[in-house]
Chains A and B, each alone.
Chain A
């Protein structure tokens, strides 16, 4: 050991100066998506819609969005809005839907967010019920159907999706599939072949809707029978489950249409197909949507942005680019799924999706959880 060790100071200097150099170089930059294709803005048919971007006020200033949706589903439209309005910028805080919900609750009045963009109406309905959001303007309430928004406009849908039955097209004959969600819990044919993902907002909304539409006993029976009799396989992720269906690890899965559509988009030969149940919770029409936060620093900008999402161009984006359903009358659906009219979703007001304690209790009792 040398009496005057040069190393300690050198080490410290190296570490310190290293981090300082990096620090000065590390500026904040937004997520590096390529320039999105904004052709949909011009392609949108504005003649039948309630309004188009040109009918609306210009967007100006900075909007802070907390997103529980994935970046591919909303970033392009925000980028195109930025392109359309040079004085408009969007800063997005990305996270999972549950994370953003918990975060907004903990932040309360201290939140930075102007707008919460959720992939699931129950998160919006809960936040609204707890007083964390403020009403959107009347013209929004006038054009969005009452089933898929808050009665007072404390949140609104922006695009729709539907619960579906995913199946492996090599292993399952579509004729085998039932259009009754209760058959999947009852019929022996499905035992040991079926899976679901119980931790998604969409699944919880589905159980909640089953509870409201068909009653507690039926719901409890369904959950119990799925677990005890049908030996349902439980997955923790929607993509894993769709992958497992495509691989044939499991033949049938109850989930969102989105994941299967995504696999087919990546590889059209993927052996995965979709069927829908009729007039029961299994075909629940659920929505992604937005709420203006009660503490929004720029509520009028948030409000105006919401209108842009509901305008012809916004709706056209959700249909064309995301493969979702429109939520406004007068927007044409084009895509591989059944037309919204052909879809026999139950009538259900999504504002009811607020208290999930009983859903949790039922799922826990029969251990349908991951």
Chain B
């Protein structure tokens, strides 16, 4: 948001802007199309039932609990993700690339694995109590859910903030320091305004994720708003499910509006030069903190799987692991990331540069799919696919579309904050040198926002690889991925058989992160 001008509804008159507007409108329309089904289903509920359902959710107190969960998780994620981004992106932390990967990896661990591992590891009957011989406390209830969701979603804040720090011109900070500003002051006045949209973009994703998550609260035996959605789903009351999803969306709309206010003001900078902050002796506590976090988020589940694997000698008798599972997962995730990035760039660019009502509306519209539980998007696309597009149902393109609907905002948010950081004068300069609008976009803007775009694609990749509800619903029969195999093992109570695919999921995603981060570094250094 530019502070000077209020947003206006202006219809552009040049080809470039009209083209951009139409493309963005089409993308927004495509990703909110499942909502048509949601509203149509919800409209089947008669008024009396609707009121009953609403009062029920009030008496259960699940809306305030969901909001409290969301707020707590969001604040904690910023407290963890922000400093980690600074540590790995702006300091001389030893092995910073390694720590970047370990700090980002929790994102690939599905909540039904993470939460399950925590429930199994802690508590008086937990594996850790057995292993260590001392009583470790139970992780459950509200704070258990806050802890676990935070540990597996803070990477949103970490990755968005890190991308912003990397593309920020840190020589401004040096300049401020030469002008006798303290480190804190330089951070507050130079760095913070530049990375604030990125932090807000990451925090928004965390908030919406926490709001729409079902798996973790279920494991922690915490009744939240999504519990009500799944409850009605279990009864096959699809129209109640839809109505509750719309209630959830209204909460999400408030969150989106808040983020739209704080996340826009920005001081543009340029490429990422400038000195790195020297940690000195602080490098050790920093390293220990990172190692502890990696232990909690990554080692705990791996150890739990390892224990199961050694305990159950019959592994391999049931679901045998096949490389195809990993290949299918990688293929789907890469395709979803690619499509999401292609769709995110115009929407993010338009939203960051135009400032009009339409561009902002299109950008906000992409978040809708993220704020609704996956089963709702999945079942909406089942309806559309089977009844309106039988040729596409059930096919891989439709499944990839479902991923894009769910995860596009992850790429949009981070790309938008990257565009906001680019000084508009660069593009103007290119145009005075007779570059076309598209030419200046491609040759000036695109290279500058690459870290953001790559990080956005990475986020979509990592979350797609762990996506379960829409995958189960829309996968062509016979197509199994790492998560569906983990789900099978979980369903059949053969947890040991989840161990290998879960380890492969972590390793494959870790390697993919390595590739993503290399792309980002190539540009920056």
Establish whether residues B379 and A23, one from each chain, have CB atoms under 8 Å apart when the complex forms: no
Other-chain contact of B478, A23, A29, A204 (Cβ < 8 Å): A29
Given contacts A4-B443, A236-B221, A263-B493, 4 further A-B contacts (CB under 8 A): A19-B338, A28-B328, A29-B478, A240-B119
Interface SS of chain B: helix, strand, loop or mixed? helix
The answer to the question of B330 belonging to the interface, with a C-beta cut-off of 8 Å to chain A, is yes
A123 → chain B closest CB, angstroms = 8
Q: How far is the CA of A71 from the CA of B488 in the complex (A)?
A: 7
Return the contact of B492 from the options A70, A110, A364 (Cβ within 8 A).
A70
Identify B238's interface contact among A73, A105, A236, CB under 8 A.
A105
The complex places the Cα of A218 from the Cα of B28 at a distance, in Å, of 53
| Nearest B residue (CB) for A76 | B318
Q: How far is the CA of A34 from the CA of B317 in the complex (A)?
A: 6
Expressed in whole angstroms, the Cα–Cα distance for A101 and B234 within the complex equals 9
Q: Which residue of B lies closest to A32 (CB)?
A: B322
Query: Which residues of B pack against A, CB within 8 Å?
Result: 56, 60, 119, 125, 218-219, 221, 223, 227, 230-231, 233-238, 270-271, 312, 316-322, 324-325, 327-328, 330-331, 334-335, 337-338, 341, 375, 379, 382-383, 385-387, 390, 393-394, 442-443, 446-448, 450, 454, 457, 472-473, 475-480, 484-485, 488, 491-494, 515, 519, 522-523
Name the distance in Å between B264's Cβ and chain A's nearest Cβ: 25
Known A16-B338, A31-B488, A106-B382: A26·B324 in contact at CB below 8 Å: yes
> Which of B337, B476, B479 has most chain A Cβ within 10 Å?
B479
A266 to B331, alpha carbons, bound, how many Å? 35
Q: How far is the CB of A102 from chain B (nearest CB, A)?
A: 6
Whether A32 contacts B319 in the complex (CB less than 8 A), given A14-B519, A70-B491, A99-B375, comes out as yes
Q: A23-B335, A98-B233, A107-B386 are in contact. Are A32 and B477 (CB under 8 A)?
A: no
* Interface contact A92-B236, CB-CB below 8 Å: no
The residue among B322, B386, B390 with the most chain A CB atoms within 10 A of its own CB is: B386
Known: A28-B479, A239-B493. A102 touches B472 (CB 8 A): no
Indicate which residue in B316, B394, B454 contacts A11 across the interface (CB closer than 8 Å): B454
The answer to whether B492 touches A72 (Cβ under 8 A) is yes
Instruction: Mark each residue of chain A from 84 to 110: 1 if its CB lies under 8 Å from any CB of chain B, else 0.
Output: 000000011111101101110111101
A169 on the B face (CB < 8 A) = no
B230 — nearest CB in chain A belongs to which residue?
Answer: A199
Chain A's nearest CB lies how many Å from the CB of B512? 9
> Which residues of the other chain, A, contact B321 by a CB distance below 8 angstroms?
32
Inter-chain CA distance A367–B379, complex, in Å, is 27
* Chain B: CB-nearest residue to A265: B493
Most chain B CB within a 10 A radius of its CB, from A34, A93, A234, A235: A93
Q: B61 to nearest A CB, angstroms? A: 10
B442's nearest neighbour on chain A, judged by CB, is A8
A248: B residues at CB distance < 8 A: 125
Q: Which residues from A are CB-within-8-Å of B387?
A: 106-108, 110
**What 0/1 readout, one digit per residue, does chain A (33-74) give for beta carbons within 8 Å of chain B?**
110000000000000000000000000000011000011110
> Does any Cβ of B come within 8 Å of A344's Cβ?
no
Is A347 in the interface zone, CB < 8 Å from B? no
**Distance in Å: Cβ of A67 to nearest Cβ of chain B:** 9
Q: Which residues from A are CB-within-8-Å of B223?
A: 369-370
Most buried by A among B233, B235, B337, B341: B235
28 contacts between A and B (CB under 8 A): A1-B448, A4-B443, A7-B522, A15-B341, A15-B457, A23-B331, A31-B480, A70-B492, A71-B491, A71-B492, A94-B472, A95-B473, A96-B472, A101-B236, A102-B379, A103-B379, A105-B238, A106-B383, A106-B387, A107-B382, A107-B387, A126-B236, A204-B234, A236-B221, A262-B493, A266-B493, A364-B56, A369-B223
Which of chain B's residues have a CB closer than 8 A to the CB of A31?
Answer: 319, 478, 480, 485, 488
- A188 in contact (CB, < 8 A): no
Chain B: which residue is nearest A5 at the CB level? B447
CB-CB nearest in chain B for A127:
B236
Q: Which residues of A contact B56 (CB under 8 A)?
A: 364
Q: Contact between A91 and B379 (Cβ–Cβ < 8 Å)?
A: no
**With contacts A19-B335, A111-B386 known, is A106 near B221, CB below 8 A?**
no
CB-based contact B519/A11 at 8 Å = yes
Contact A25 B327 (CB under 8 A): yes
Q: Which residues of A contact B394 (CB under 8 A)?
A: 112
Q: Say whether B386 contacts A108, CB under 8 Å.
A: yes
Whole-angstrom CA separation of A310 from B438 in the bound complex: 67
Per-residue contact bits, chain A 325-368, to B (CB 8 Å; 1 contact, 0 not): 00000000000000000000000000000001000100010010
Take A94-B472, A236-B218 as given contacts and tell me if A110 and B393 are in contact as well, using a CB distance cutoff of 8 Å.
yes
CB distance from A1 to the nearest CB of B (A): 5
Interface centre among B379, B475, B493 (most CB of A within 10 A): B493
Interface residue? A228 (CB, 8 A):
no
**Within 8 Å of chain B (Cβ to Cβ): is A27?**
yes
Contact A106/B379 with A31-B488, A32-B322 known, Cβ cut-off 8 Å: yes
Across the interface, which residues of B come within 8 angstroms of A27, CB to CB?
324
Residue of A nearest to B484 (CB): A94
What residue of chain A has the Cβ atom nearest to residue B384's Cβ? A106
Task: Check B334–A370 contact: CB distance below 8 A.
Answer: no
- Given the contacts A7-B523, A28-B478, A71 and B319 also touching, CB distance less than 8 Å: yes
Smallest CB gap from A246: residue in B: B125
CA distance A30 to B325 in the complex (A): 10
Please name the residue on chain A nearest to B59 by beta carbon. Answer: A367
- Rounded to whole angstroms, the CA-CA distance of A347 and B509 in the bound complex is 54
User: Which partner residue on chain A sits nearest B327 by CB separation?
Assistant: A26
Complex: how many Å from CA A364 to CA B62? 13
Check A370/B231 contact, CB under 8 A, given A27-B324, A110-B387, A235-B221.
yes
The answer to whether A26 touches B485, judged by C-beta atoms less than 8 angstroms apart, is: no
- Contact A93 B477, CB 8 Å, known A34-B316, A106-B383, A110-B387: yes
Is B330 a contact of A22 with CB atoms below 8 Å?
Answer: yes
Residues of B within 8 A of A1 (CB): 270-271, 447-448
Please indicate which of the listed interface residues B218, B236, B446, B475 has the most CB atoms of chain A within 10 Å of its own CB: B236
B338 and A72: CB pair below 8 A? no
Is A212 part of the contact surface with B, judged by Cβ < 8 Å? Answer: no
A259 in the interface, Cβ–Cβ < 8 Å? yes
Q: Please give, as numbers and ranges, the residues of chain B lying within 8 Å of A110 by CB-CB distance.
A: 385-387, 390, 393
Least CB distance from A318 to B in Å reads 16
The closest CB in chain A to the CB of B240 belongs to A360
Task: Give CA–CA (A356, B480) in the complex, Å.
Answer: 33
Q: In this complex, what residue of B is CB-closest to A359?
A: B235
Given A14-B519, A102-B238, A29 and B454 contact (CB-CB distance below 8 Å): no
